[in-house]
Amino acid sequence: MFTSVLMIEQPLTTVDVDFVTTLHGDDPVSFFVLMQPRGDQDRLLRAIDDVALGELPEALHEADVPEGDAARGPAALALEHSLAALRAKGAKAVGQIVEDHPLDKLKAVVDETGADEVIVLTAPHLVEEFFHRDWASRARHKVEVPVLKLFAHNE
């Protein structure tokens, strides 16, 4: 069985689930999903990304989205939704909310599970990607398995 650690920041869409569950053809896949709640430290970067992507209404409403402790409940629901969607496609899937340092947790999960790869599935983060400070760029230096960067879809 192929084991992937999947890092996400929003619920998986149908398109995302279809894509990640078919990456390895008909081979059985097991996912360990790490869900990162929104942090208030990222508000400015998210607003800049929204403006750069031409999504001005989203930039104006960044402050309306729960962050920090208030984001844990929505993150738990997003994780449960994502796990159920992966299981419905026939994949084994477990996961957890990331409490502190996402890349430290990623390294620990990769080591504990003997994962074959890491898939980082997030919205575009132009500023972080430009400076190679996004999860995928940093994970490539932290884990000893291939890291695939995918952009999440909106439904």
Q: Nearest to residue 36, comparing CAs of 10, 64, 3?
A: 10
Identify the top-confidence range among 38-47, 119-128, 130-139.
119-128
Does the global pTM surpass 0.85?
no
82 has pLDDT over 80: yes
154 has pLDDT over 80: no
Band the pLDDT of 20: cuts 50, 70, 90.
very high
Q: Residue 114, by phi and psi: left (phi above 0), alpha (psi -120 to 50) or beta?
A: left
